[in-house]
Amino acid sequence: SEISFDSKGFQVFTFLWMGVNIFLFVWYYFYYDLGDEFFYTRHLLGSALAWARAPAAVLNFNCMLILLPVCRNLLSLIRGSFMCCGRTIRKQLDKNLTFHKLVAYMIGLMTAVHMVAHLHGVVEQQQTGRIRQTEHSSVRAGGRREHLDPQQIPTYFVFTTIAGLTGVVITLALILIITSSMEVIRRNYFEVFWYTHHLFIIFFAGLVFHGAGRIVRSQQNEKAHNFTFCKDRPEDWGLIPECPLPTFAGGFPKTWMWVIGPMFFYVCERLLRFVRFMQTVHYRKIVMRPSKVLELQLVKSGFKMDVGQYVFLNCPAISQLEWHPFTMTSAPEEDFFSVHIRSAGDWTDKLIDIIVNAILLRMGVDGPFGTASEDVFDYEVSMLVGAGIGVTPFASILKSIWYKFKEGNPKLRTRKIYFYWLCRETHAFEWFADLLCVLEKEMEERGMGHFLTYKLFLTGWDQNIADHAKVQVDADTDVITGLKQKTHYGRPVWDKEFEQIRKENPTSVVGTFLCGPEALGKVLEKKCAKYSEVDPRKTRFYFNKENF
């Protein structure tokens, strides 16, 4: 079934990526462990040579990939190019941040193996008294001595060579980037995460120069100097034709060849962001909604959007570097675009406080960018689930539906929408209830009350609210929202909801869209798999989640 293929799509992609990593590791491990030109190098470094170079190859591959998932404009271009393809293929683009994290974990692991192996090799040379020097140091040929390297102690190697210094810088930058990316840091100290993440510039600069020292050397005249014959007779090196002195040279640095392409794309990405930042953005309307939610209606020349898309906002007065994603709540049919910003951290708090005090700040806008919600009208039946401020992409979708019906008989593939909104407090419903009220009235007037089914769930409530609701149970409208659909108290029983949708749509593909917490996403994804029929002619649920 389609849902089965989709649920495994990212797993298949991850399996292929892991397969390439394993292949590169194994291939280069045996290349350095068995290659004739590295015989004398292995004699000095032992197994550390292969254990250092194999992860280096994997690092090159993953450092090539790490920037691509965060090139938003590139992903939007690819998404647009794949509009003619199946949604399963396009949906993999929505996993870009998940893949970015997987690649980062692999880089961290391979960096640790690479570093430990190199340090082990240097220590082993020191302990055996053969630090980067061939065993035939007492043999002269033409007044020359053949040396691999004059370094004598690991500390000297680490802090005086190009490879050592850049390795230290790369490792420290990587440690700071990974540790500051932890969930607890991102949620509570976003600025720390954001600024520390820009150490990737130092990381890539060090990466490009890391191989310039050419510390891993291979024998260049292995055909003239046959090590199988000469290795046991170093006293004859340079004295007999069969055993000329072995010559060595460092390998040509190749890391830059792996990363130059992604670096170019990312530079273009930042240049495009700068151009968009310089474009003028006008305030059309500013509204302070309940629950400390700020609505900004903005106008920008040439700006075109689609339902469910998002933009990145930058306010130079607060921070020159910080860009934050916000899903647009306006419809493509409107002559402006709007975002709803909830107080959720230092940056949003500062923005709300400044604008509430009637200070109009310069605003930079980058986007719009596509998400899974763009595909909402590609399904016969759509199930929209928003949690708190996560209702924003569905506000855009429902507004667009209203405009389509207002303009006349719309040609929509979608024939039914189920909308679920989960909020912790009553005030959160207020800013969106007016849109639902208009939609409710519009559908009834057109005799299409069946088109939209919505359910609002108040997950955080006290006994006073419940008692008041009981008193008003016979009222025509809900006591909290004023809508005809009554508010439910507590969390949805998802098994019941999915079973009902499956019963009402026995032969449909149902697109399930979520903008909310990861925990809820895992629950809904499991329910989509559970209630999807094996028979492709029957009901299938297709899970989609917003990712920023």
Q: What pLDDT, on a 0 to 100 scale, did the predictor assign at position 135?
A: 43
**Side-by-side strand order, sheet with 337-342:** 281-289, 293-300, 337-342
Query: Please, which pLDDT band fits residue 267 given cuts at 50, 70 and 90?
Result: very high
User: Which segment of 114-128, 266-280, 509-523 scores lowest on mean pLDDT?
Assistant: 114-128
Q: What pLDDT, on a 0 to 100 scale, did the predictor assign at position 33?
A: 87
Residue type for position 113: V
% of residues, the chain, pLDDT over 90: 18
CATH topology (fold) of 373-545: Rossmann fold (3.40.50)
User: Once rounded to an integer, what is the mean pLDDT over residues 19-43?
Assistant: 88
Q: Where in the chain is the domain with CATH 3.40.50.80?
A: 373-545
Q: What pLDDT, on a 0 to 100 scale, did the predictor assign at position 473?
A: 53
**What DSSP designation does 220 have?**
S
Cβ neighbours around 538 below 10 Å, total: 15
Average pLDDT, the chain: 80
Sign of the CA dihedral running 89, 91, 92, 93 = positive
Per the listing, tokens 């020159």 go with: 320
Q: What pLDDT, on a 0 to 100 scale, did the predictor assign at position 141?
A: 37
What is the dihedral angle through the alpha carbons of 356, 358, 359, 361, rounded to the nearest 10 degrees? 70
Q: What pLDDT, on a 0 to 100 scale, did the predictor assign at position 36?
A: 78
Helices in 232-345 by DSSP H: which ranges? 255-278
User: Once rounded to an integer, what is the mean pLDDT over residues 174-193?
Assistant: 87
User: Which segment of 45-59, 370-384, 424-438 scores lowest on mean pLDDT?
Assistant: 424-438
Q: What pLDDT, on a 0 to 100 scale, did the predictor assign at position 88?
A: 65
User: Once rounded to an integer, what is the mean pLDDT over residues 389-407?
Assistant: 79
Q: Which residue has the higher pLDDT, 195 or 131?
A: 195
Whether 69 and 78 have beta carbons less than 8 Å apart is answered as no
**What DSSP designation does 304 have?**
-
- Backbone angles phi and psi of 233, in degrees to 5: -135, 60
Whether 139 and 125 have beta carbons less than 8 Å apart is answered as no
User: Once rounded to an integer, what is the mean pLDDT over residues 461-465?
Assistant: 60
Q: What pLDDT, on a 0 to 100 scale, did the predictor assign at position 145?
A: 39
Q: What pLDDT, on a 0 to 100 scale, did the predictor assign at position 60?
A: 94
Q: What is the largest CA-CA distance in the chain?
A: 108
Q: What pLDDT, on a 0 to 100 scale, did the predictor assign at position 449?
A: 65
Query: Please, which pLDDT band fits residue 47 given cuts at 50, 70 and 90?
Result: confident
Burial class (CB in 10 A: 0-12, 13-18, 19+), 116: middle
Whether 281 and 365 have beta carbons less than 8 Å apart is answered as yes
Sign of the CA dihedral running 126, 127, 129, 130 = negative
pLDDT at 134 over 60: no
User: Which segment of 133-142, 413-422, 512-521 scores lowest on mean pLDDT?
Assistant: 133-142
The CATH code for residues 279-370 is: 2.40.30.10
pLDDT at 514 over 60: yes
Helices in 94-161 by DSSP H: which ranges? 96-128, 154-160
User: Which segment of 6-10, 169-173, 187-191, 266-270 scores lowest on mean pLDDT?
Assistant: 6-10
Q: Where in the chain is the domain with CATH 2.40.30.10?
A: 279-370
Q: Which helix (H) or strand (E) holds 15?
A: helix 2-34
Per the listing, tokens 């930079």 go with: 364
Q: What pLDDT, on a 0 to 100 scale, did the predictor assign at position 124?
A: 64
Residue type for position 96: N
Q: What pLDDT, on a 0 to 100 scale, did the predictor assign at position 87?
A: 63
Helices in 279-391 by DSSP H: which ranges? 346-356
pLDDT at 44 over 80: no
pLDDT at 452 over 60: yes
pLDDT in tens, 221-250: 777 787 778 777 777 787 888 788 877 777
User: Which segment of 29-43, 46-60, 260-274, 460-474 scores lowest on mean pLDDT?
Assistant: 460-474
* The two structure tokens encoding residue 126: 């020191």
User: Which segment of 57-71, 83-97, 149-163, 349-363 scores lowest on mean pLDDT?
Assistant: 149-163
Long-range contact list for 498-501, CB < 8 A, 24+ apart? 498/527, 498/528, 498/530, 498/531, 498/541, 499/531, 501/381, 501/383, 501/418, 501/531, 501/539
Segments of 270-389 assigned E as strands: 281-289, 293-300, 310-314, 324-327, 337-342, 364-369, 381-387
Q: Which residue has the higher pLDDT, 545 or 478?
A: 545
Opening angle at CA 412, ends 401 and 307, nearest 5: 45
% of residues, the chain, pLDDT over 70: 80
Query: Please, which pLDDT band fits residue 474 given cuts at 50, 70 and 90?
Result: low
Q: How far apart are CA 249 and CA 251, in angstroms?
A: 6
